Structure 1
Amino acid sequence: MSTQPPVETVSTGADKAKLAVAVLLLVGGIVAFYALGQQDLWMRVVALLVLLAASVATFFTAESGKQLIAFGRDSVKEVKKVVWPTRKEATQMTLYVFAFVVVMALFMFLTDKTLEWVLYDLILGWKG
């Protein structure tokens, strides 16, 4: 069992300011899209996309954005380590699952019908 120390995140004032600016740019993009309601649609979309890109760029310069990028890189490394099953193995496992589902469906059906027969016919005396 590994005893790693808990991860501590320290946010500096600059990081908080960058995140606030990113949020303001995002909100500004949405506001600009609706404020330019009298303009052509392409102009509204361009304004939204420019402010959205500025917001994302600002976010990725903050520590949270850098951690997100590092997490993405680590995830790609881990996915590359995965040993994927061959087509034959995947097909076999799929058939096993289907067979198990069919067996369980039959079991549930037989259990239901048996309980129905016991309750309604034997105990209550109702003839269906």
Structure 2
Amino acid sequence: MATSEVQTVSATSDKVRLVLAGALVIAALAAYYLLAQQGVWAQWAGMLLGLAASSVAFFTSESGRQLIAFGRDAVREVKKVVWPERKEAMQITAYVFVFVVVMALFLWLTDKTLEWVFYDLILGWKK
């Protein structure tokens, strides 16, 4: 039986950084609405500065560093993927399309057959 490892934020400085990041997001949204009288440029500048500060606070925490490491690992794995050539991709797409059409016809035929059996033969209801 596999056990999943649960990791929590343990260091006080990391907790403070995460709370600060959340507070800065709220401050950025508040700045957007509070700077409405100063114009659109001030609104967006206040919000973007707040979000940038929040991002810095988050990415300097342990959770942020783990997220960055996860992203790097994901990019490394995607680079290992062998993508099909255009011809192979087109053939697979055609196979899938044909299968869907055949399955749709099969299900339609099954539905009509069951409708005929139940309504016409068993119940005697004619349309």
Structure 2 counterparts to residues 1-128 of structure 1, below 5 A: 6=5, 8-128=7-127
SS at match of 2:121: helix
The ranges of structure 1 where at least 4 consecutive aligned residues each deviate by more than 6 angstroms after the TM superposition are none
- The alignment-based identity, stated in percent, is 61
Partner Cα separation in structure 1 for residue 17 and residue 40 of structure 2: 30
For 2:77, the aligned partner's letter is E
SS at match of 2:38: coil
Q: Point out where structure 2 has 5 or more consecutive residues left out of the alignment.
A: none
SS at match of 1:85: coil
Deviation of 1:9 after TM superposition, in Å, equals 4.2
Partner Cα separation in structure 2 for residue 51 and residue 8 of structure 1: 28
Deviation of 1:92 after TM superposition, in Å, equals 0.9
Moved more, 92-101 or 29-38: 29-38
Deviation of 1:6 after TM superposition, in Å, equals 3.1
- Number of residue pairs the alignment of both structures matches: 126
Partner Cα separation in structure 2 for residue 5 and residue 127 of structure 1: 60
What TM-score, normalized by structure 2, do the two folds share?
Answer: 0.91
Q: Point out where structure 1 has 5 or more consecutive residues left out of the alignment.
A: none
Partner Cα separation in structure 2 for residue 10 and residue 119 of structure 1: 62
Partner Cα separation in structure 1 for residue 99 and residue 9 of structure 2: 50
Partner Cα separation in structure 2 for residue 37 and residue 5 of structure 1: 48
Partner Cα separation in structure 2 for residue 100 and residue 55 of structure 1: 50
Partner Cα separation in structure 2 for residue 122 and residue 44 of structure 1: 72
